[in-house]
Structure 1
Amino acid sequence: MRLHKLRLVAFGSFPGTEEVDFDALGEAGLFLIHGPTGAGKTTVLDAVCYALYGRVPGQRESARSLRCDHAPPDRGPSVTLELTIRGRRLRITRSPAWMRPKLRGSGLVEEKAKARVEELTEPGGQWVVRSTRSDEAGDFVNTLTGMTAAQFCQVAMLPQGEFAKFLRAGGEERRELLERLFSVRVFSDVERWLADHRTRTWREAQELGQRVESVLDRMRGAAGDDLPLPEEAGDPAAWAG
């Protein structure tokens, strides 16, 4: 996954419109997002996660509203993220639910959450709409990233105090997550095939041994004490030879 551009409007701690050009920041390789407390560092990360999955990490998920309290009353919150996942250039726009002023009269009315996923068909081409439903957008991202929202928040976002949960997680939970992250399913499939093949071969050997024993019993019964014995009389394979 590679982030290209992020645009925030009335989201989190930003009352206006803010843009982040990750391509420009990443020209020198790694970059650092830093600033004093309240500068909006966490909001940038929240916006990335929200654009992808329609939720934000950690305890902030239970926040009353993702809209900035200092934004003008008629300015709706939205996040637009351009990124590349598995070679596909996408643009995801999400708007959380918020209370806007009524167009007529006084009071407020709820504006429902919205989502829109677009894909660039070719460099310099047109954006094609892939989904305009929040649930479909989430499934679309899950399929491409190979991670659920909870897994992405736990591993990629590394929220304060939350990474320790991954370290304390059970072996099976960590195994499933690491398999998704590093695409090692093919090795798991090979391991499973080998285990099944070993079990099947063992059963076949047992069945063949029983058949040899059955033949030996009939031979003993027919020949009596005059049946010549091989050197390894107790080994069915020696009788078969």
Structure 2
Amino acid sequence: MLVRRFEDVVAAANDRLLLMSDGRYELVRSDEREDVRTRRTGLSMRVVDHSTGLERDPRTLSGGETFYVSLCLALGMADVVTAEAGGMDLGTLFVDEGFGSLDPHTLDVVLAELGRLRAGGRVIGVVSHVETLKQSIADRIEVRHLADGSSTLAVRAG
């Protein structure tokens, strides 16, 4: 049962991953057991790199690639939970950092996907220090550190 749900999450993640990676990456469940910090796990996956035709260990992805693969998995999990909850939508998503590791093209693709989610009714919270990203988000809360060690909040609306 757990393996089936994992496969459902991977399939839902791939719907977005193929878009975000410009068709380069796809996730597949692997039957190989991984040794992660001496614990054996059974839910593992590989990354199909369509540019080489080879499967890769996810740990070989760059920081930016790891970020958007993780984002796709989180969104895939939300899709599966929504489907299993009879359509009850998980309306809020927070994304904490990782944007700084994206190249400009991939950042645009990720932002477009987050924009589609927002247009579909989800609330998207983004935590980032990337200036380009901050400028592309009209409604935001900015936290500024002050010289005395405290901080201040400013709400910016579109």
TM-score by length of 2: 0.36
TM-score by length of 1: 0.27
Q: Which has the larger radius of gyration?
A: 1
